[in-house]
Each structure stands twice: as structure tokens, then as C-alpha cells.
Structure 1
Amino acid sequence: MNKFNSVWDGLKGPEMDEINALIGPNLGMSPRKKAEPVPEEPEDPNRLLGRITKYNEARGFGFIQAEDDTEYFIHASAFAEGVEVWRGARVSFELSRNIQTGKTSAVNARFMR
């Protein structure tokens, strides 16, 4: 038995309930948010489906090839913060036209099965 187990073993009843209330029942293990299920098809019929064909993580952009073989630019900001993006991933997305350049790009991207 290591020295840490002896500390936890000595706490029972109300003392342990107080600790659980502060740090959760996993005794110091951080609670993890359950991952949302990944849908197979987009919920919104206005969303397009495609695959990421090129992506430069260092520069934060890449390209999606839609099911109709049209290629669209995508920026890292089109994904939820902290999401890892990889080539070959199937995504649903919306299109947005840049007013200054007139170019169309993918926005609000979500991973699909």
C-alpha cells in the first residue's frame, strides 16, 4: 500500500461525502464530458457532405471535396474549438461567400460517420 491509499482509506462517511462533493466520486479523476454521438447524415437538408482532401494543420486551412466533386476551402475556425482535423474525414458543412473576395468556403463543419 502506498502512502496515498492510506490517506483515502482513513476517510469515511461524511468526510468522504464532503470530498466527493468537491472533487467528484472518482477520487481526483477529472470528470469527462461524454462525447456527442456522431450522426451518419446531416440533420439539416441545407448542409452538404464531403471529405477533407487536404489539410495543413500548421497553417490552419485545407480543402473539402463535396459529394458533387466540387472542392471548397475550409479554415480551422469552421470546426469546433480544439477539434483535431485529418485528411479523409467525412464532414457535413454549410457554404458561405466572402463579400470581399467573392469566393465560397465551407463553414460550420461537423464530423460524420
Structure 2
Amino acid sequence: MMDVYDSVYEEVRRNVSSFRRQELAAIHETFLCCGKQSPFGETGSIENETCPSEQMGTAKEDCLEEIQDFLKKHMAFVSVLLIITICFMVYGMILTSFLWFSIHFSNHLDRKGKYILRES
């Protein structure tokens, strides 16, 4: 996600594509952030054009840090779901292997032979 934001930001910075500007504005609205900090200190017209004026004052971090925080928060939930899924998968594999071994090693499933009734 961070790479996607970075590529969209750089594309908007290089040319004036209205589609990419709309994408960048949608990302800013979704994550409630505005732009990214440049190591060279160059902030400029991109933030002024793609960030709504009410977000400029509330955006405390750049978008890359906001996206990173969002991913860190939600990775715990994803990890729990993956662990539960893996547990069910291993449990199913164990049950399936018991079924396979019981079918494979039982020679007389059809009970061939004679049955004699005893008199009481």
C-alpha cells in the first residue's frame, strides 16, 4: 500500500493527470492525511491541490506514516485469522489421514464369509 501511494504521489508530481489527482485525493480522504514529507523539504502545490483545507490542519503525519500505522493496527487481526485458518486446516488434514489409513489398511470391509445362527 505504501508503494502504491508513493507511485501515485510521484506520478501526480511529474505530470498533470486528473485521474491520478483524484486517486491521490481519495487516498488523502481515506487515511485522513496529507502528502508526504520530503527529505529535501520541498512541499508544494500537490498538497494544496489534493488535500481539502480542513484536513491540512488536522494532518499530523504524512501519509506514508499514517498508512504504516494503519497496517500495523490491522495486522494483528489478520494474523489471528490466519492462525485460526491454519489450525482448522491441520485438524482437517489429521482427520483425513485417519480416514485414509482406516480405509487403506482394512482388508475386509465387505464381511465375506458364512454366518451361522446358534440355537438358544
TM-score, L = length of structure 2: 0.20
Q: Which has the larger radius of gyration?
A: 2
User: What TM-score comes out, normalization by structure 1 length?
Assistant: 0.21
Bigger strand fraction: 1
